[in-house]
Each structure stands twice: as structure tokens, then as C-alpha cells.
Amino acid sequence: MDRMLIVSNRLPFTVQERKGELQIEPSVGGLATGLSSWYKSLNSVWIGWPGIGRKKMKREKDILAKLLSENCHPVSISQQDVEAHYNGLCNRTIWPLFHHFPLYTEYDEHFWQAYERVNIAFANVVAGVAKPDDMIWVHDYHLMLLPKLLRERMPKATVGFFLHIPFPSFEIFRLLPWRNQILEGLVGADLVGFHTYDYAGHFLESVHRLLGHEAAMGQITVADRIVRTDAFPMGINYERYSSVDRDPRAQAERKRFRRKLGDCRVILSVDRLDYTKGIPQRLEAFSALLDRNPSLKRRVILVLLVVPSRIRVEQYMQLKKQVDGLVGEINGKHGTIGWMPVWYLYRSLPFHSLTALYSLADVALVTPLRDGMNLVAKEYVAARIDEKGVLILSETAGAAQELGEAIIINANNREEIVQALARALEMPEQEQIERNRVMQKRLRRYDVVRWADEFMDKLLYTKELQRQMAEKVLTDEMQRRLAGDFQKSTGALLLLDYDGTLVPFSPKPADAMPGADLLRLLERLTKRPANEVVLISGRDKETLDKWFGDLGVGLVAEHGAWTRKRGGEWETIETLASEWKNEVYPILESWVDRTPGSFIEEKEFSLVWHYRRANPKLGELRARELINSLSNTTANLNLQVLEGSQVVEVKNAGINKGRAALRWISGQDWDFILAIGDDWTDEDTFQVLPPPAWSIKIGFGASAARFSLGSPGEAVSLLARMAGER
Ligand code: ADQ
């Protein structure tokens, strides 16, 4: 890999003015801390705003030299643009809207113009620093126009984008006056990543509906370029948070806190002060808990740790007042001499103090109204090295999709939070341990480094897909040649997969029945007696009989287990057995990690990855990736990989579409053969074709097929052309 350019609004170092002098200090929290070790281990450069206005930076050449020595390139922005970009469009428009707070959203043309100017300023710096082979990774909602601006300046650049906040549903996103510009900005990237599959789905829907691009299954076709989207749930630096017991400062801090808290049970709340985090709702629920359970008096303390944030924005000022008021009310109403029910800290704490609090809290109450991911939930679980403690987590935090063993609540349902708190305070230790153990295992494996690595792997994979796609597309010229060869032939064999090839995938397999036009087209193709059309499918023979039984076509059912020649009866072939599981099992395990809810079933001669309990769309996407990935691993193992109904099954070879296709291929001297298919099961067909045959993959993944087409619609129009209908 060449260099990595990380681009984010803020640099990992902030320039600060102290007593009239400029100094640089590491930025605290967020991306910078999470990625610092990963970024240093690579040949990386970071590009971002240094936290200080253009004029001051100009005065200090030394500061610039210091930043450059840390591989940081500052983007200089005027103070007015910082104000209108960051405090304007970012925090008064995008942030509230993307978190589903349309009433807090301000639409101001001046903010938008500043947003454009700042994105252009970033593009200029990146274009000046970037070399052709660099990988560019742009972060977050401050820079959503940047991918397109970079694509215009460097058409071949490798650009990834990751959004750290939610992408809202279409109905919310469409409210934005500059919605198309934002989408166009984003699809300038090669890969657009989100924390959850839901956000990726919202984005795809908006792209499809507003820009009109074909967008499905994690892929967008923008003119002649494909853009991938996917979910990469951000992890934490697990090692760092789970080393509390080895950190003497954290240990000392823990003792100090414990002395102050006495033997009270501790409920912990940690956030930036933001209206998306649901802090007032949390306080109200805690107050209701005390109302209802007088026995908890003097026995429980809510430690409310709040970091000041965006203090110049009106809603944040109001929220501050509201939280101050609620804390005062609760302490006034329930407190006694010597016991303050809410311990309110309005500041940022150093790392060792934060981990000390995590490690002693009996309950972490993490109840955002909406949150892209929420790292606090993950940090708490990681810091509980004794495996005890209970996490209460709101379902509208991205983290809830990975931390299903927490007590999951609806943050707007006060009653549910009160009950969750009561349940958490009473939860038997054994149950706490069982829940945390599973979450810890997951967080340890999928940490921040793995997150970044997976993003990069996917970015490279997307580039590779684009390269293959460009090479293999069946051009109009080639389609004309193909149709001509077919029409001249004296014996033509067409081997056609059905689902995903002649019809698009539909959520319910039964809905994909062929329409009248398709049936008529197939009939036309079979009209000449010298032509043979064979439909090669994974479906059962009953369905194929029902749909195509009267057509005069050959049929292959269940990926080759059954074949039926034109006018003949169904016939079957037998299977073989072999040993190979040790190699395949770990691969399936890593898919289980990345797809919450999925699991592995082990049968005597096969391994099955089930995703029926996972988010259905995510499951489908992962299944396709798994099949692609297994096709490499299993090449030498005499195995086959089959996609069933919400399962991917790996079994020994013996039955496959290729073997079935050979019954037709070798049965006669054909002077024209065409095979079309879309997934890995069709690769077997492609592999048994004699060299002059035409083979076409639908979609742009790796394939043994010689050519590719973008969609079933294109395959059908090619067939129509062959039949002389176009
Ligand atoms: P944030 O909205 O800032 O991040 P979060 O993911 O919880 O939210 O990260 C906050 C970070 O600040 C955590 O690492 C936490 O430890 C730290 N922190 C909070 N309070 C602190 C305190 N008082 N003292 C010291 N440190 C404190 C945005 C999105 C999230 C997404 C992240 C990462 O809004 O949804 O998870 O980016 O993508």
C-alpha cells in the first residue's frame, strides 16, 4: 500500500494560544485518539483544520513546521468561514437533521456557501498533497462535498468516505435544500461507509430516489463507475480501555472515587452535552426510580458526567439550563444531608479518571435519542475487566445493533428506563457476567484497528471491482457480434441462470415468477429446432416445472441435483464426501462476527451459515460477499458453495451447475454457446464452457465469465436482440 491520507475536520493536533504564544497539543477524544496508533503505524498523512484562524497561523512559521513534522497538513480557513461552516451548516443544519431533529434545523444559504468554500479549501490542500497511488479517507459530515471535488481534480484517485453520524431516512433527508449536492458529493467516493446497515440503506434509498442512480445491494452505478456502500461498525481501542487494572493512576483514582461515593451503588452517565443524547429523559427516569423506590435512598448515586459542547449554539445553551435545573430539582427533592443523588460533573475528564469511573459503575445508563454509534457504551463494557456491571442502551444508538446482550430500551419511554434501572440494580452477578462476556469477546475482536483495516480492504476491493468491470463490460459492439453469431449458428446452446440473471432478486423468492414478456422471449429463442435453451437454477424442480414446464426448454433444478432434457423426465446424480471443515469454519466465524444474529450449523458433510435471524438486507449482502470470498478459498478443496434461502452452504463437490451443464454441452456439436449467470453457483457453468463460448456475468464481482453486464434488465435486452426483437 502507498500512503494513507486521512482527512477530517480537525487535525489530531490542535493549535492553541497560551499567553500570546501558539502551541500544539494532541486533540482529545474522538477519531484522533481512536486512530492514533493505527495511523502512526502506517505511512500516513493527516489533513484537517488546526483549530485556529488563518491570520494567526500565518504569523507562526514554527507551528506549521511542527505540524508538518507530525505529518499533519493544516487547512487554513478564515474565522468567518469556520463560524458559518462548523457552527452553521454542520451544527445547526446537518447535525440536527441527520439525528432526526427537523425542528432544530436551520436552513441558511450563507451557511451553505461557507460549507462549499470550506470543502473547496480542503480539496485544494488534499489535491496538493496527494500522489496518484495514495488512498484518501475522508471523515464525517463536515466534508460531504469533498469526495466529488477530489474526483473532479483527480479522476483516478482512491477515495473512501465514512459518516460517523446516522444517515437519516429518506423522508427526513429530503427536507434539506442542498440534498442533491450532498449526495453527489458523497458518490464521488469509491466507498461510502456507515456505522450500521440501516444508515447505508437510507443512503441508498436517497441516492436512488433523488439522483436516479441504480442503487441496491450495497452498490451504486454512477454512469460508468460503481460506488460501494457498506456498514463498518466502529470499534474502540479495546486494549486501552481494558487495561484499567494495569494503570496505577486509574487504580488510585478508582479508590478516590470509591471513598467519595461510600458504599452506594453507582449509575454512570457519560456524554457530550447534546440534545441527541437524551440527558434530561435520563434524569427524569432516575427521579421516577427514586420516587417509586424509597429504599434506594442513600444507596444509589447517579454520576452524571457531561462534557461541554457547542456552547455557542442556542439549543445547547438551553439544554445546559435544563440539565442544571433538573439536577438541582432532583438533589433538592430527594437528597439528604450526606447524600446527593446526582453527582454532576460538567467537564471533560482525563482518560484514567474516566476508566476508573467505568470500572466501578454498577450500571451504565446510555440512552441517546439517536446516536450514530456511541462509543461510551463500548468503552464501559471493555473497562469492566471483572465482567460485572450492566449496560442499559437505547435502541436508537448504532451500538445497539452489536450489543444485543445489554438491556435495550426506547429512550422516549420513561417507564421502560425506570424498569430497566430497577432490573439492572437487581441483576444476579452470574447473569451480568454471561452478558458481558459475549459483548467483550465481540468488542475485542472487532476493535478500532479491525474497523479501519476492513474499511481499507473494502476500499481496495472496490477499486479492483471497478478495474474488472471496466475491462469486461460487454460493449454494444460486442453485443451486436454476439447476436450475429447466434443468428448465423446451426446449433446454439443457451445456458441461462434464472434468479438475479433474467429477473432481479425479490425479497420473497415466490414473487420472482416470470412475466409474460420474458416467457414469450424464451419461447422465441427456442423456436428454431437447432436452438436449445436450458434454465439452470437453484430452485426446486416443482417450481421450475410450474413456470417453464410447457416451454420446450431444458431444466436444471437445485444447482444441478436434478436435470430434465427437453420433453424428458427429471433425473438425478449422486454425491461424494470429503474432509475440509477446519479451513472453512474460521471463515464462517468471521462472518458471524460481522453479521449480528447469524450463526453456523455443522452437518456431517457440510457447513451452513444461516442469516435468517440477522437484519435481512445485511444478511443478503454478507452472503454474497461470503460466497465471493469462499470461491477463492475453496478452489483447491473440491468443494462447492451454495446459496439457499437465507443460508450459505459449503459442501463437497459432486453436484454443481457445471456438471449438469455438461450433459448438454457434450451432447452435441454446438457452434454457438452462451452462458449467463450472476452468482458463484454459475461459476461452475462458466468453467466447463469450451473456449469459444460466450459467458456473461451479471454484476461486477470476480468471475470466470469473459464478459459482464450490469443488471438482469441488460441481460434480457441482449436476449431480445438475439431473438431479433431489437
Ligand atoms: P460523539 O457524539 O462525540 O461521537 P461518542 O461515540 O459517545 O459520541 O464518543 C464520545 C467520546 O468522548 C467517547 O470516547 C468518550 O469516552 C469521550 N467522553 C465523553 N464524555 C467524556 C468526559 N466527560 N470526559 C472525557 N471523555 C469523555 C460521534 C457520533 C457517535 C459515534 C462517534 C464515533 O455522534 O455516534 O459513535 O462519533 O464515530
Q: What is the CATH number of the domain that holds 628?
A: 3.30.70.1020
Q: Is the CB of 400 under 6 A from ligand 1?
A: no
Q: What is the mean pLDDT of residues 692-720?
A: 89
CB 302 within 8 A of CB 318: no
Long-range contacts of 539-542 (CB under 8 A, 24+ apart): 539/498, 539/499, 539/509, 541/570
Q: Which pLDDT value is given to residue 630?
A: 84
Structurally, how many domains does the chain consist of?
4
End-to-end CA distance of the chain: 47
Q: Is the CB of 269 under 6 A from ligand 1?
A: no
The beta strand positions in 356-488, using DSSP E, are 363-366, 390-394, 407-409
**What is the 376 CA–ligand 1 centroid distance (Å)?**
6
Q: Which pLDDT value is given to residue 508?
A: 61
19: left (phi over 0), alpha (psi -120 to 50) or beta: left
Long-range contacts of 413-419 (CB under 8 A, 24+ apart): 414/281, 414/284, 414/285, 414/288, 417/281, 417/282, 417/285, 417/365, 417/367, 417/392, 418/285, 418/288, 418/289, 418/292
Give the angle subtended at the CA of 35 by the CAs of 34 and 39, to the nearest 5°.
160
φ, ψ at 337 (rounded to 5°): -65, 125
Q: Which pLDDT value is given to residue 529?
A: 85
Q: What is the mean pLDDT of residues 302-321?
A: 92
Residues 188 and 279 placed together within one structural domain of the fold: no
164 versus 631: which is more confidently predicted? 164
Strand-pair partners of 265: 300
CA 218, 222, 223, 225 torsion-angle sign = negative
Establish if 458 belongs to a structural domain: no
**Average pLDDT score, the chain:** 90
- Which residue bears the cell 436435470? 563
Residues 197 and 294 placed together within one structural domain of the fold: no
Residue nearest to atom 20 of ligand 1 (CA): 271
Residues 221 and 363 placed together within one structural domain of the fold: no
Q: Which pLDDT value is given to residue 313?
A: 85
Calpha distance 204→220 (Å, rounded):
8
Residue nearest to atom 9 of ligand 1 (CA): 375
pLDDT surpassing 80 at residue 216: no
CB 233 within 8 A of CB 34: no
Query: How many CA within 13 A on the CB side of residue 46?
Result: 26
Domain boundary among 207, 231, 255: 231
Q: Is the CB of 594 under 6 A from ligand 1?
A: no
Residues 678 and 590 placed together within one structural domain of the fold: no
**What is the 116 CA–ligand 1 centroid distance (Å)?**
27
SS3 state at 292: helix
φ, ψ at 636 (rounded to 5°): -95, 5
pLDDT surpassing 80 at residue 112: yes
**What is the 277 CA–ligand 1 centroid distance (Å)?**
10
Establish if 456 belongs to a structural domain: no
Short-list 718, 314, 268, CA closest to 501: 718
Closest ligand 1 atom number to CA of residue 348: 24
CATH of the domain at 717: 3.40.50.1000
Q: Which residues contact 197 (CB under 8 A, 6 or more apart)?
A: 231, 401, 615, 617, 618, 621
- Which residue bears the cell 466529488? 148
Specify whether 497 is catalytic.
yes
Calpha distance 256→258 (Å, rounded):
5
Residues 434 and 314 placed together within one structural domain of the fold: yes
Q: Is the CB of 366 under 6 A from ligand 1?
A: no
Q: Which pLDDT value is given to residue 53?
A: 74
CB 718 within 8 A of CB 697: no
| Per-residue pLDDT tens over the stretch 398-418 | 999 999 999 999 999 999 999
Q: Which pLDDT value is given to residue 398?
A: 96
| Per-residue pLDDT tens over the stretch 49-77 | 988 877 777 777 788 888 888 889 999 99
Q: What is the mean pLDDT of residues 211-217?
A: 75
pLDDT surpassing 80 at residue 446: yes
Residues 342 and 254 placed together within one structural domain of the fold: yes
Establish if 453 belongs to a structural domain: no
pLDDT surpassing 80 at residue 430: yes
The residue to mutate among 6, 97, 270, having the most atoms of ligand 1 within 8 angstroms of its beta carbon, is 270
Q: Is the CB of 9 under 6 A from ligand 1?
A: no
pLDDT surpassing 90 at residue 494: yes
φ, ψ at 312 (rounded to 5°): -90, -5
| Per-residue pLDDT tens over the stretch 524-563 | 999 888 899 999 998 888 999 999 999 999 999 878 878 9
Q: Which residues contact 716 (CB under 8 A, 6 or more apart)?
A: 502, 518, 521
Domain boundary among 231, 249, 280: 231
Residue range of the domain that includes 662: 473-573+655-722
Q: Which pLDDT value is given to residue 603?
A: 66
The residue to mutate among 36, 97, 272, 276, having the most atoms of ligand 1 within 8 angstroms of its beta carbon, is 272
Residues 108 and 180 placed together within one structural domain of the fold: yes
Calpha distance 67→47 (Å, rounded):
10
CA 405 to chain centre: 21
Q: Which pLDDT value is given to residue 1?
A: 54
Q: Is the CB of 272 under 6 A from ligand 1?
A: yes
The residue to mutate among 375, 378, 381, 391, having the most atoms of ligand 1 within 8 angstroms of its beta carbon, is 375
Q: Which listed residue (274, 371, 447, 497) is catalytic?
A: 497
Calpha distance 184→179 (Å, rounded):
9
Please state the three-class secondary structure of 607-670 as a single string: EEEECCCCCHHHHHHHHHHHHHHHHHHHHHCCEEEEEECCEEEEEECCCCHHHHHHHHHCCCCC
Q: Is the CB of 237 under 6 A from ligand 1?
A: no
Q: Is the CB of 129 under 6 A from ligand 1?
A: no
Q: Which pLDDT value is given to residue 105?
A: 97
Q: Which pLDDT value is given to residue 91?
A: 95
pLDDT surpassing 90 at residue 437: yes
Residues 128 and 92 placed together within one structural domain of the fold: yes
**What is the 375 CA–ligand 1 centroid distance (Å)?**
6
Q: Is the CB of 715 under 6 A from ligand 1?
A: no
Establish if 457 belongs to a structural domain: no
* Residue 447 Cα distances to 36, 433, 441, angstroms: 13, 20, 10
